[in-house]
Copies of this chain bind each other. A is one copy, B any other.
């Protein structure tokens, strides 16, 4: 039987899968719901299997054959040991490895070349590869890291709105718009912030880019501070030898014009997406092994 390869890109809102032949050539794609192995491993397992089956159907293959396939599953939160072990043992594939969503994104963006990716979304993380060595920078999460992330920008905006309310910092159309949304009552802002998840803070980030583009002084200050954190992290990435950097994530295109001139010559477009990266990693890891090909 054919040793199909599966790549999985599991995220907090959806799970995507691709199936490829043993040579890594893509045959079909599928999609399902959220796959967060940390907060809900059972649902993640179900959605990983569903997405894989959908990819097989898309490729005119028997979805039951996922059980004979080899997979690379890219997930957020892969560093959280127990959840990884629990999920890995229960994956419905012949063989599988779980990798970080960052690593599959790097593989997709750079192929086999050296370089780095800066993932700028609700969180931020930087991953650099030089030969066989892969190093991670940042990505410690909203509470104590993820500087420059959408969540941190949104959080900073809500803070700034309270400082404007108190007359400690100047108000602007941007802070006025936030306070108006909270009935001009700072306690409503506090109540929201106390329970908000990173993604909920992150929903305010595009507004900061938007207002900054129109010259709002508070937006400009917040965005310059955020861009500085990204530039500082890029300096650290470059210090580790990266000559090429792909900006990925939901804020990548918004950030690009705000980043330092010194970094621009290094920016390059991603070759392919994270799902393609997962398939490529599966081809590397499982494609040439005799016991799989047999």
**Are the CB atoms of A158 and B138 closer together than 8 Å?**
no
Hey, which chain B residues are within 8 Å of A169, CB to CB? Answer: 232
B141 touches A194 (CB 8 A): yes
Interface 9-mer from A56-64, A88-96, A159-167, A251-259: A159-167
Total interface residues on A, CB under 8 Å, equals: 30
* A11-19, A185-193, A267-275: which lies at the interface: A185-193
Residues of A bordering B, CB below 8 Å: 79, 137-138, 140-141, 143-145, 147, 155, 158-159, 162-163, 166-169, 186-187, 189-190, 193-194, 232-233, 235-236, 239-240
How many copies of the shown chain assemble into the complex? 2
* Interface-centre pick from A137, A140, A232 (highest chain B CB count, 10 A): A140
**Shortest distance between the CB of A39 and any CB in chain B (Å):** 13
Q: Are A145 and B190 in contact (CB under 8 A)?
A: yes
* Besides A140-B162, A145-B159, 18 new A-B residue pairs in contact (Cβ under 8 A), listed by A number: A79-B187, A137-B167, A138-B168, A140-B186, A140-B189, A140-B190, A143-B193, A143-B194, A144-B155, A144-B158, A144-B159, A144-B189, A144-B190, A144-B194, A166-B233, A168-B232, A168-B233, A168-B235
